Structure 1
Amino acid sequence: MKILVEALHSQGHQITVVRSSTSWYVSEFSPHYTSITITQEQSQNLESQDFMTSFLKRSIEIRRNKGSLWAFLDFYSNLFNMMGENQIVVAKMVVSIFENKTLTKELKETRYDLFLTDPAFPGGVLLAHYLQLPLVFNVRWLFNGEAHFAIAPSPLSYVPELFTDHSDKMDFFQRIHNIIRHGMLVYMYHYVSNPPYQDVCDHYFGPDVSVMSLIQGADLWLMRVDFAFEFPRPTMPNVVYIGGFQGKPSKPLPSDLEDFMQSSGEHGVIVMTLGTLLSDLGPEISEIVASSFANLPQKVVWRHIGKRPITLGNNTMLVEWLPQNDILGHPKTKVFVTHGGTNGIYEAIYHGVPVLGIPLIFDQYDNMVRLKSRGVAEIAEVTTLDVESLTSTLKNIIDPEKPYKQNMLKLSRLHHDKPMKPLDSAIFWMEFVMRHKGAAHLRTESYKLPWYTYHCLDVMAVFVGLGLLIIALVWVFCRCLIGCLIRTKKSVFKSKNE
């Protein structure tokens, strides 16, 4: 979101950012926007390093029992608890905004042109409706799964649902699995994610309004997807694809990091980072990773939080932070070891760097399945990680005789070959919505239809009814005809006998 805000500011737009008092993602002060801070007593659990470490640990424990019914139920129980708590906190923050009459009056009187939000936690969706503003999403996920499922036809025969770890080529049993996973997310929507927001809708907007209908009524969806990465699927006219919009040319590295990169010689460098919240894998897994790196001739830059591994080799530099985009764009970088977060994946595609994924939570497994299906990545299962297999996988990816690098360069060329850069496209369409006070002509009205009308079940019921009526009439006609013939035959037979 920060990238979009800065790009809008560079075009001369004035931006107001609504943030919570507990947020450390969104700075209160910036040269690119003014902020309105909403006092929040309880922070979202996604903002807590301790909570996410605990959540990751529990997720790995569940993953170790993958394949059992109990692991399946534990996985969703763990997810539902986290999501449910987070949605309640966001809903409370929205109520605090609505109850602040001074603030809401100020927001209405300012007469904004556009409301930009990420609907994964749809507090912004409710506020946009309250202010009656054109609504634009920076989106990939909703509070009930992948965003396309809310607005576009999504046949489960070839569109994999979140958490399935399937590609778009599914056999019969994988399609069964896909439908079951879809059912769990439908349950999550109705009984975990939606209830806190529905209470807000009922109180402030009336019982006929739901947050899902407000989401489906958005003017524009800036979808963080590129079909060089994502599997092909049906879409809608008001969806604009900006996958990889954060990609940019690399800048020079700090001198100490540049010296380390150059010291790698012909072997090059492996870069490893697991994102902001998931950097500490614990001592057991960290020692396996360190030992594997020590077995390689390449140098390694590892963003590592936690205790220094005992088995760390001389070829490995531990850092608390690294300029991810710049180091991925360095010519010495050979492999990117990542958890499979969207930002890192698209930066790797942008710079043509093959990937070794160690997916941990959320969409990371599904992201890595997409990369592996393109032949540009391998996946290391965190619960069965060992030194030998990890070392072997890294050597394979680096091996110039293997196709990983060439496949990634091809994918990178596809990603770059566009008439307009994704960020420029995002800016154009946001300004389009501002100029025209919305984009209703691009939005389907299907979301206003009852489910039975959307699927034409009422039409099919009429056809079935007419078919049954015709069959009944034919049956009655035939019965009457046969009866008449029988009576005629009896009458003839009787007259002959007389």
Structure 2
Amino acid sequence: MRAMSLCQLCTALSPVHLRTCNCKSKVLCKVKPEKTKTFSSLRVKMHLTWIWICLCWLCSAVVYGGKVLVFPVDGSHWVNMKVIIEELHSRGHQVSVVRQTDSWYIKETSPFYSSITIDGKSGFDEDFISSFVAQLLEIQREGKSAWMRFKLEMEQAQKASEFHVKSCKILEKIFETKELIQPMQEAKYDLVLTDPVIPVGIIIAHYLKLPLVFNVRWTSHGEGHFSIAPSPLSYVPVTGTELTDKMTFFERVFNVVVFAFNKYQIAVNILPHYTSLTKKYLGENTDYISMFQAADLWLMRVDFVFEFPRPTMPNVVYMGGFQCKPAKPLPQHLEEFVQSSGDHGFIIMSLGTLIGELPCDLADGIAAAFAKLPQKVIWRYKGSRPTTLGNNTLLVDWMPQNDLLGHPKIKLFVAHGGTNGVQEAMYHGVPILGLPLIFDQRDNLLRIEARGAGKNLDIFSMNEDIFFQGIHEILSEPSYRMNMQRLSRLHRDQPLKPLDNALFWIEFVMRHKGAAHLRTESYRLPWYSYHSVDVMLFLAGIILVILGTSTFMIKCLCSLCLRKKTKRD
């Protein structure tokens, strides 16, 4: 709740017009009532009474905004973190955002936060991401094979390892630079809000001993649920497997193998970077994975309309679609363009913030398919203009995606499968033609396809005709739109808006200095205790002792009986 000054309270409550207010702070002010002979003594007494009421109310009811230290991740992750930051600011909280000098989306100056800029490079800039994505796309165009998949995983693991090396350098710089760490200690923040894809904020929060809140879908070592909640591999698919919660025996075998491979990747490519650093600054007994599990609150950017049902924990708060909102009017040039589509409506296509262009042959095939359609098309594309582009297609560098998805003439969303775009399409009830490219996009779109609300194509084996047929199928088959609108109704049918729910729990952590009562203590257990291996061995030992003792006693009895029989004979 934002603090309100006494002069604002008095102005709101008093029936007497106040001419002057010498307010010197948000807490104390001196109010001088207008001196005029027309006021009766009764009005003056009433005025003093109102001031006394205001003072009493102020002492008992004013709550001051908290101080939040934010460690975000750049790119599309910043887009949704910014939504929370702006809402925190609107509620009177002070927000400080830690960024690097090469930050791509995170600006140094903003009306919503003050920035703490670290003189160093995160490596997460537009040029690096563009070249990295181009590499991944080139590998996938070699064709579907186990070797291609292995190369893809190795390339992603190598780049992830490079990111973690740079993260460690950023952490060392913060710890070793007094001008950085000391102001963080002296600022008396109420909590740290971070995206755990990069663990810098987590380690700093533990160092400062501050409550920790995650804005999370992914951590540095995989999907968030696998870090905190029980995840039975019999019906919880591992990200990257492209499986649903209904698996055959061999799919379950594949799921377990991928899970084990991911654990190996984490042990080899992530943990070694942080072991010595965390021991140096946080103590010898610090465990990297346990720091994640010790977070007070996990604000999960999904809900169970989108995600497959699975076990969860009390400190996981689901806020899927929190960035979605009702559509606003379009800019005039876009409104005129979509209105010119008539009854046919329009289609939008976007491949997200990381993928601005495609290989020329792919872009030409997509443009040629669009040119055959009666619908108008708005395509967010930064590459060279395709040679086959039709008059019905408008290329833009940026578009108000949420507002276009909420327009009554929208027919279809051609998307790469990023979490933000999928959630916005679901919120507005727009079916999706998926063109997954990298990272988690295939798994996101699989969840939409499994619910009959979209169709996915393999962009690397796709041609003009396949793409055109995919669009035609979704536009001509009503079930796709009906299923997506059903998901939209389920998603919207909540007692609280996802963003309001998330902000309530952030402020809950501020008010109570953490949420330890919601946090499982499983992270304090060694793996053999967590999985009850020690208990099973103990019980197995007791059974063996009982069986051994019983066997020994039976042998003794048999031996005794044999001796007696021998004597009789």
1:67 CA displacement? 5.4
Report the number of matched residues.
489
Amino acid at match of 2:334: L
Amino acid at match of 1:452: Y
Quick check: 1:60–1:382 contact (8 Å CA) kept in 2? no
Give yes or no for the alignment of 1:39 onto 2:39: no
1:148 CA displacement? 0.6
1:248 paired residue number? 325
SS of aligned partner of 1:394 = helix
Amino acid at match of 2:521: E
Aligned equivalent of 1:15, options 67, 71, 95: 95
2:314 paired residue number? 237
Quick check: 2:104–2:126 contact (8 Å CA) kept in 1? no
Give yes or no for the alignment of 1:391 onto 2:468: yes
Amino acid at match of 2:256: I
1:29 paired residue number? 109
1:427 paired residue number? 503
Give yes or no for the alignment of 1:111 onto 2:188: yes
Aligned equivalent of 1:79, options 126, 151, 156: 156
SS of aligned partner of 1:55 = helix
Give yes or no for the alignment of 1:366 onto 2:443: yes
Give the direction of change, closer, same or farther, for the CA distance of 1:322–1:159 in structure 2 (3 Å limit): same
2:73 paired residue number? none
2:223 paired residue number? 146
2:241 paired residue number? 164
- The residue correspondences of 1:339-358 to structure 2 (distance < 5 A) are 339-358=416-435
1:496 paired residue number? none
1:403 paired residue number? 479
Quick check: 1:118–1:139 contact (8 Å CA) kept in 2? yes
Aligned equivalent of 1:70, options 147, 157, 179: 147
CA displacement 1:123-163 (0-9 Å, x = unmatched):
00011111111110000101111011111000111111111
The whole-number CA distance in structure 2 between the counterparts of 1:85 and 1:261 is 44
2:359 paired residue number? 282
Identify the range of structure 1 (480-489 vs 256-265) with the bigger mean alpha-carbon deviation. Answer: 480-489
The whole-number CA distance in structure 1 between the counterparts of 2:488 and 2:541 is 55
2:532 paired residue number? 456
The whole-number CA distance in structure 1 between the counterparts of 2:95 and 2:223 is 28
2:389 paired residue number? 312
CA displacement 1:167-199 (0-9 Å, x = unmatched):
111111111111121122212211112222222
- Name which one, 1 or 2, has greater alpha-carbon Rg: 2
SS of aligned partner of 2:425 = helix
Amino acid at match of 1:204: Y
Quick check: 2:133–2:354 contact (8 Å CA) kept in 1? no
The whole-number CA distance in structure 2 between the counterparts of 1:102 and 1:276 is 34
Give the direction of change, closer, same or farther, for the CA distance of 1:62–1:180 in structure 2 (3 Å limit): farther
TM score, norm. by length of structure 1: 0.96
Give the direction of change, closer, same or farther, for the CA distance of 1:466–1:381 in structure 2 (3 Å limit): same
Aligned equivalent of 2:170, options 88, 93, 96: 93
Amino acid at match of 1:4: I
Quick check: 2:413–2:431 contact (8 Å CA) kept in 1? yes
Give the direction of change, closer, same or farther, for the CA distance of 1:21–1:53 in structure 2 (3 Å limit): closer
SS of aligned partner of 1:266 = helix
1:32 CA displacement? 0.7
SS of aligned partner of 1:281 = coil
TM score, norm. by length of structure 2: 0.84
Aligned equivalent of 1:226, options 298, 303, 307: 303
Quick check: 1:290–1:309 contact (8 Å CA) kept in 2? yes
Quick check: 2:189–2:210 contact (8 Å CA) kept in 1? yes
1:489 paired residue number? 565
1:72 CA displacement? 3.0
Amino acid at match of 1:21: T
The whole-number CA distance in structure 2 between the counterparts of 1:361 and 1:199 is 32
Aligned equivalent of 1:476, options 533, 536, 552: 552
1:189 paired residue number? 266
CA displacement 1:392-432 (0-9 Å, x = unmatched):
11011111x43000001100000000000000001100000
Identify the range of structure 1 (341-350 vs 474-483) with the bigger mean alpha-carbon deviation. Answer: 474-483
CA displacement 1:371-396 (0-9 Å, x = unmatched):
00111011010111111111111011
2:66 paired residue number? none
Quick check: 1:66–1:72 contact (8 Å CA) kept in 2? no
The whole-number CA distance in structure 2 between the counterparts of 1:154 and 1:417 is 27
Amino acid at match of 1:273: S
1:48 CA displacement? 2.9
1:66 CA displacement? 5.9
SS of aligned partner of 2:134 = helix
Identity percentage over the alignment?
Answer: 52
Quick check: 1:22–1:43 contact (8 Å CA) kept in 2? yes
The whole-number CA distance in structure 1 between the counterparts of 2:282 and 2:383 is 48
Instruction: State the structure with bigger RCO (CA 8 A, min sep 6), 1 or 2.
Output: 1
Structure 2 runs not aligned, ≥5 long = 1-80
Give yes or no for the alignment of 1:48 onto 2:139: no
Structure 1 runs not aligned, ≥5 long = 494-498
Q: CA RMSD in A?
A: 1.2
Identify the range of structure 1 (418-427 vs 169-178) with the bigger mean alpha-carbon deviation. Answer: 169-178
